[in-house]
Amino acid sequence: MYRYDEFDHTLVAERVAVFRRQVERRLTGDITEDQFKPLRLPNGLYLQLHAYMLRINVPYGCLSSRQLRKLAFIARRFDRGFGHFTTRQNIQFNWIRLDEAPDILAELADVEMNTMQSSGNCVRNITADQFAGRARDEIEDPRPWCELIRQWSILHPEFGYLPRKFKIAVTGAASDRAAVKFHDVGLYLRRNAEGVIGFEVIVGGGQGRTPYVGLTIREWLAKEDLFSYLEAILRIYNLGGRRDNPNKARIKIQVNALGIDEFRRLVEEEWAEIKASPLLNVDPAEVARITAYFAPPAWEDLPEETVALDRLRKAQPAFDAWYRANVVGHRTPGYAIVNLSLKSPGIAPGDLTAEQMDRVADLADRFSLGELRVSHRQNLVFTDVRQKELHELWTELARISLATANIGTLTDIVACPGLDFCSLANARAIPVAQDISRHFSDAATLQDIGELTINISGCMNACGHHHVGHIGILGVEKKGQEFYQLTLGGSSAEDAALGERLGRAISADEVPAAIEALVARYKSLRSGDERFLDTWRRVGIEPFQDAVYGEGVTPRREVA
Amino acid sequence: MQSSGQMVVASRLSDGRVVFLGTGAQWVEDLQLGALARHKDEGEALLQSARKAEAANQVVEAYLITVETIAGKRRATDWRESIRACGPTVRTDLLTHTS
Amino acid sequence: MALIRNGKLVDDIHIDARTLDPVPVDQPVIVSLLQWQAHRDTLLAGKQSLGIRLQSDQPPALLGADLRHFAVVALEFPKFRDGRAYTHARMLRERLGFRGELRAVGDVLQEQLNYMQRCGFDTFEISTADPLAAWQAIENDHTVWYQATGDGRPRALELRRQQAR
């Protein structure tokens, strides 16, 4: 993974020093809260329901064991012993003291981490495929490009005060595991007709109140034009994005208002002006320097362990279930990618205790070359596990409740912190996830249901990505009570789609039964090995409405 | 016996913790120990006092909430405020108070 | 208002003529775009140093060839959150070739001065009681930047290379 050199270290250290001074000015009353808020937010510090919350960047989801141990230390020393991984591959701590925040940033800087631009109206953490560099369906590792974009975006003097936040995701794989089409800018590494790898550029995707699937602004962009093209997009957005209403200020609104063709025309016109600028060149030597950090590790020459694994899987159904759900093919023989589920029954999705962090760091050292990844579905990944050690790893993970065999299944639920923690939320999200995960805890049942994603958001801001869950659940508040609206048919993968509202909102108590009814209807309707999403696409909404609201009951359609 | 009143809730500047305005302009972490306004005027007076504490950089984002007292125990009538006062409902090991 | 340039308080020879009617033509003034459009020839005939103050929704390219008549372009930040003038400043310096005084006015906060400077601003009307102290507090905040702008500062890339030599 990327390592800071002295210049990266200096940049972060200077930023920490600036923030320390700003915090001091606030604590002594030199500046007001109104003045301080725009200073603390771009350092990832929010004021939430119970205390300050600190959001720490995990750049494109890559973590070292050393960094994870530091996070465990921070959880213990400065928080309440656990952290929460988010849908943007970041980690959040919930009980931070303002007067200790600068010390935390200094601790993070020691392990080459920071909180820069994890909030605020600027370019946020760059996200990527959690299997980057290891996936079999990848044409090129996106991480060097993520790091190049990260550096280009950090403290960019022109784009620190955009109309609204700006999120960028990159993947080099055929399967989209990074929700690329739901970002302000999404990048797919693609070959053009001549076989040269460049980027397909997507713009204007997003969720929130007004969800859009992103549109292709450019089919193929040469790598050397990456910065100039990004800069052109950001410029058109900075100048033309709405600033009168924060709810309409994202680039998706601008793209939709102008139409993609007109937006593209503006971008290309601006790009023509800056394309040849030496200020924006993608320097081949710098690309090579950064790419070297992501060079494949010295994998051992190992055989595929098919026979031995088959024997173990037959002998132990629990291991077999875990293998089938959580282990993914690796591009190198004898190795495997392993998902660590942060969704064991009854746990808040994405939560990890300090003790688990320390153990996971040890296991990463022992089984996965000291590195791990965070996925946007709030799980962890070991990227380089020897197949012959899978069983041993499974045993170790089970001891710390991280071997739940449910990746990609109904209980691999994505959920935002909701009203239990977040000051923007209208309803709780975590208890709903807990109820569902307790209700469907049998691995065989989950395997029979197959791929089915559930996403829960506690408000319209959609941090739980409910719009793109195969089943989406949105918490709403009515007369002081929590209710939940179901949407069906969303997808954040390469077959990107927005979910459709099923009908009237239901109470929290009714959610598990409703999921049960949807699943039962799917099982009765599916043909062959159709996924839930495929069946939904084939049969449409009505059978599922009947399942939840009763035969012949026309659900009252509600206005958003 | 049931009665209702108002209290001021805020976040303490130094650590962000949820605090309630108590008597004598002190801030307390327990809703049960905060000052309770029975009338609108009393509520306004509490809020005025809270504004001073904001100006003095003790607390931020102070506002009035409605609480009801049932069998001698107070609770916020609003669900969000109840979660603020008691802590998350999902990590009961982290509850700030048993109220 | 006090003006900071090169880390020092300087006097402004121009007067702010935005609310003056008629616009004085016998002394250096800073006018609005509307005033310029209405009184262009009169102002030019006065042969005084001229400045123009543009709102954040008035791109400098609107001035076209008239840009050469201005010693000062003042770009307004109506709220610190409105970041359009950062782009406008870079356009002025890096595309339109403006070499005169580029002034940041309006809701200009201490914490923004570094970004503004990097985008090409060279004078600042800072919204604070002691602008000189504000400048001094931040002027050494950052020695490393990842991006190149028209200000010519080496980016991290160049610093790495110098070190490698």
Asked if residue B98 belongs to a domain, the reply is no
Task: Determine the residue among A279, A290, A293 to mutate to test chain C binding: the one whose Cβ has the most chain C Cβ atoms within 10 Å.
Answer: A279
**First-last CA distance in chain B:** 18
Asked if residue B95 belongs to a domain, the reply is no
Q: What percent of chain C has pLDDT over 90?
A: 95
Nearest chain B Cα to A23, which residue?
B14
Q: Residue B37 sits in which domain range?
A: 2-90
For residue A168, the surrounding DSSP H or E stretch is strand A168-171
Query: What's the pLDDT at B1?
Result: 53
Measure A239 CA to nearest chain C CA, in Å. 5
User: How many residues in total does chain C contain?
Assistant: 165
Q: Mean pLDDT, 10 residues at a time, over chain A (560 residues)?
A: 97 98 96 94 97 98 98 97 96 97 98 98 98 98 98 98 98 98 98 98 97 98 98 98 97 98 98 96 96 96 94 97 97 98 94 97 98 98 98 98 97 97 96 95 91 97 97 96 98 97 96 97 96 98 96 52
Task: Please list every residue in chain A whose beta carbon sits closer than 8 Å to the beta carbon of residue C148.
Answer: 278-280
Query: What's the pLDDT at A555?
Result: 52
Task: Please list every residue in chain C whose beta carbon sits closer than 8 Å to the beta carbon of residue A146.
Answer: none
Torsional sign, CA B64, B66, B69, B74: negative
Domain count, chain B: 1
**CATH node for A306-399:** 3.90.480.20
**CATH node for A6-110:** 3.90.480.20
For residue A92, the surrounding DSSP H or E stretch is strand A91-96
d(CA A443, CA A433): 17
Asked if A520 reaches chain C (Cβ–Cβ under 8 Å), the answer is no
A135-293 and A414-549, same CATH topology: yes
Measure A121 CA to nearest chain C CA, in Å. 9
Q: What tens digit of pLDDT does each residue of C126-156 get?
A: 988 899 999 999 999 999 999 999 999 999 9
**CATH node for A135-293:** 3.30.413.10
Closest CB from A80, A98, A430 relative to B94: A80
CB-CB under 8 Å, B89 with A420? yes
> How many CB pairs (< 8 A) connect A and C?
100
CB-CB under 8 Å, A279 with C150? yes
Show which subunits contact B, needing at least 3 CB pairs below 8 angstroms: A
Measure A97 CA to nearest chain B CA, in Å. 4
Helices (H), chain C: 33-45, 84-90, 113-119, 131-138, 156-164
CB-CB under 8 Å, B79 with A98? no
Task: Please list every residue in chain C whose beta carbon sits closer than 8 Å to the beta carbon of residue A285.
Answer: 161
Structural domains in chain C, CATH included, are 3-164 (3.20.20.70)
d(CA A485, CA A469): 13
The three-state secondary structure class of C56 is coil
Q: Do chains B and C touch (3 or more CB pairs under 8 A)?
A: no
Query: What's the pLDDT at C113?
Result: 97
- Protein fold of A414-549: Sulfite Reductase Hemoprotein; domain 1 (3.30.413)
- Identify the contact set of chain C against chain A, taking CB-CB distances under 8 A: 59, 80-84, 86-87, 90, 94-95, 109, 111-112, 114-116, 118-119, 137-138, 141-150, 156-157, 159-161, 163
- b/e sequence C75-96, b meaning 16+ C-beta within 10 Å: bbbeebebbbbbbbbbbbbbeb
Measure C110 CA to nearest chain A CA, in Å. 11
Torsional sign, CA A414, A420, A424, A426: positive
Q: What tens digit of pLDDT does each residue of B7-42 get?
A: 999 999 999 999 999 998 899 999 999 999 999 999
Query: What's the pLDDT at B98?
Result: 41
CB-CB under 8 Å, C83 with A161? yes
What does DSSP assign to residue A559? -
**First-last CA distance in chain C:** 47
- ipTM > 0.90 (yes/no): yes
Residue A157 near residue C85, CB atoms below 8 Å? no
Residue A80 near residue A95, CB atoms below 8 Å? yes
Task: Determine the residue among B51, B52, B57, B61 to mutate to test chain A binding: the one whose Cβ has the most chain A Cβ atoms within 10 Å.
Answer: B57
Extents of the domains making up chain A: 6-110, 135-293, 306-399, 414-549
Q: What tens digit of pLDDT does each residue of A363-418 get?
A: 999 999 999 999 999 999 999 999 999 999 999 999 999 999 999 999 999 999 99
Q: Do chains A and C touch (3 or more CB pairs under 8 A)?
A: yes
Residue A429 vs residues A378, A476, A515: alpha-carbon distances, Å:
14, 10, 15
CB-CB under 8 Å, A482 with B13? no
Query: What's the pLDDT at A560?
Result: 40
Asked if residue B99 belongs to a domain, the reply is no
Task: Please list every residue in chain C whose beta carbon sits closer than 8 Å to the beta carbon of residue A166.
Answer: none
Q: How many CA atoms lie within 13 A of B46 on its CB side?
A: 27
Q: Spell out the residues 6+ positions from residue A492 whose beta carbon is closer than 8 angstroms to its own.
A: A176, A179, A181, A182, A465, A468
Among candidate residues A383, A378, A394, A242, the one with its CA nearest the CA of residue A325? A394
Asked if A287 reaches chain C (Cβ–Cβ under 8 Å), the answer is no
